[in-house]
C-alpha cells in the first residue's frame, strides 16, 4: 500500500509540468474570524468554496471534477502545517472521505505545496495537518465557563407592625403542689420500717413471751424420763437374755438358780 502511494506521488510529480493549468490564483479562507489566502492551481477541477475546521485542524474544499484532474495547493506554514517534534510530517488528504495519494513539491521554510489527482465526480477534498492558526493537535481547547447569573428573588412583602394582629395568649395555670398524705408516706417505707417524724425508721423487736420458754422446759421434762425408762428396760432385757443363754449351756447351774 505504501509503495503504491509512493509510485502515485512520483507519477504526479513527473506529469505535473506536462499539464497546462487552466486556472490559478488565490482563494480566501476564514478560520475563527481570521482570513488567509490559499494559493491554488487546477486543471479540470473547480473550487467552489474552502473553509477551515478548527476542531479537526483541517481545510475543507468543495470542488467540481468533470474529468480526472489535478489540484495543487500551497499553504503558508505560519497558517497551516504538519509537523512533529520540529520535523515535517506528511499531510493526510481525503477525497469524499477516502484516503488518496498525493505528492509534495517545492517545500520551503515558509510554504508547503501539495499536488493531487482527483477522480471525476469528486465533491469534497479535506487536507488534515497538525496545526491550524493557534490550534495544535493534542492541545486541549480551553473554553471559558459560562457564568450563570443568579436569579433575583423578589423580596416578599413583610407586614408592618400595625398589620400584625395581637394575639392574646392564654395564661398558663400553675399547678398546685399536693401535699402527700400519711398513708402515701408510709407506703414509701420498706418492710420492717415505719414512717415517723418525716423519715422511715426501723421497727423495734418485741421480746419473746415467757409462755414459749415455759413450754420448752415442760417438753424437756417429759422427754428425759422417757429416755431413762427406755434405757433401764433395755438393760433388763439384756440381763435376761444373758441368763437364758447361760442356762442353755449349763442346765445344772440353771436348775440351782
> Given a cut of 50, is residue 213 above it in pLDDT?
no
Answer with the residue of higher pLDDT: 160 or 3: 160
Exposed, middle or buried by CB within 10 Å (0-12, 13-18, 19+), for 185?
middle
Q: What is the mean pLDDT of residues 83-109?
A: 94
Q: Are strands 92-95 and 124-128 parallel, antiparallel or unpaired?
A: antiparallel
Nine cell digits for residue 237: 432385757
Contact (CB, 8 A) for 88 and 104: no
Q: What is the mean pLDDT of residues 153-174?
A: 60
Can you give the pTM of this predicted structure?
0.48
Q: What is the mean pLDDT of residues 169-173?
A: 64
Question: Which range (21-25, 145-149, 226-230, 242-246) has the least confidence?
Answer: 145-149
Predicted local distance difference test score (pLDDT) of residue 43: 94
* Highest mean pLDDT, choosing among 66-70, 71-75, 243-247: 71-75
Contact (CB, 8 A) for 47 and 25: no
Handedness of CA 73, 74, 77, 78 (dihedral sign): negative
Nine cell digits for residue 56: 479537526
Instruction: Give the tens place of pLDDT for each residue, 11-48.
Output: 555 444 444 447 889 999 887 777 888 999 999 999 99
Predicted local distance difference test score (pLDDT) of residue 97: 93
Amino acid at each position: 500500500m505504501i509503495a503504491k502511494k509512493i509510485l502515485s506521488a512520483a507519477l504526479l510529480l513527473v506529469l505535473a509540468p506536462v499539464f497546462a493549468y487552466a486556472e490559478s490564483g488565490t482563494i480566501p479562507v476564514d478560520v475563527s474570524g481570521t482570513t488567509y489566502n490559499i494559493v491554488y492551481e487546477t486543471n479540470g477541477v473547480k473550487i467552489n468554496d474552502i473553509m477551515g475546521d478548527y476542531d479537526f485542524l483541517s481545510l475543507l474544499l468543495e470542488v467540481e471534477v468533470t474529468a480526472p484532474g489535478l489540484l495543487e495547493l500551497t499553504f503558508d506554514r505560519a497558517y497551516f502545517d504538519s509537523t512533529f517534534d520540529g520535523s515535517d510530517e506528511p499531510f493526510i488528504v481525503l477525497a469524499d472521505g477516502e484516503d488518496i495519494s498525493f505528492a509534495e513539491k517545492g517545500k520551503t521554510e515558509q510554504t508547503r505545496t501539495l499536488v493531487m489527482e482527483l477522480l471525476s465526480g469528486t465533491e469534497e477534498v479535506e487536507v488534515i495537518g497538525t496545526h491550524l492558526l493557534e490550534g495544535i493537535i493534542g492541545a486541549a481547547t480551553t473554553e471559558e465557563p459560562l457564568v450563570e447569573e443568579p436569579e433575583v428573588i423578589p423580596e416578599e412583602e413583610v407586614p408592618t407592625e400595625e398589620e400584625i394582629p395581637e394575639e392574646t395568649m392564654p395564661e398558663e395555670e400553675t399547678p398546685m403542689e399536693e401535699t402527700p398524705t400519711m398513708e402515701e408516706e408510709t407506703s414509701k417505707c420498706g418492710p420492717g420500717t415505719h414512717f415517723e417524724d418525716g423519715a422511715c425508721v426501723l421497727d423495734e423487736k418485741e421480746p419473746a413471751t415467757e409462755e414459749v420458754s415455759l413450754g420448752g422446759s415442760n417438753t424437756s421434762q417429759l422427754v428425759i424420763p422417757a429416755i431413762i425408762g427406755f434405757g433401764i428396760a433395755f438393760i433388763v432385757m439384756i440381763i435376761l437374755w444373758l441368763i437364758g443363754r447361760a442356762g442353755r449351756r449349763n442346765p445344772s447351774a440353771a436348775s440351782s438358780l
